Amino acid sequence: MRNSAQLDHEFVRTGAIYQLMNVVVNDTLLGPKKIALMSINNLMSLPESSKVLMSLDIRKVVSHFVPPQFNGEPGVIKTASKIMEKIGQLSSQ
């Protein structure tokens, strides 16, 4: 996301992160979930956004989209795996 570092605080302030999590958890269609997961993957690289996502137990939410829990679309698995990788990196810091 272009200029995302400058917008990090705004993603939190406006509730965008909470809305993305809501889509991942509650939307019934896979397409919106995939788009929300891609956005969350980008936000995990930003300091303030990643703190909020970690506080929302992002690991538990995203774990439903990696094998063996999820055997669906490869793009979703790939994005979820990237998020899990970033969670691991943040947890080890």
Neighbours of 85 (CB within 10 A): 12
Torsion of CA 41, 43, 48, 52, to 10 degrees: -60
The pLDDT value recorded for residue 91 is: 87
The pLDDT value recorded for residue 48 is: 96
Would you write out the chain's pLDDT as a tens digit for each of its 93 residues? 566 778 999 999 999 999 999 999 999 999 999 999 999 999 999 999 999 999 999 999 999 999 888 888 999 999 999 999 999 999 887
Q: Give the pair of three-digit tokens for residue 84.
A: 């899990």
pTM: 0.91
The pLDDT value recorded for residue 3 is: 67
Q: Which domain holds residue 19?
A: 4-91
Exposed/middle/buried for residue 20 (C-beta within 10 Å: 0-12, 13-18, 19+): buried
Closest by CA to 32, choosing from 24, 40, 41, is 24
Number of domains in the chain: 1
Closest by CA to 20, choosing from 43, 42, 40, 41, is 40
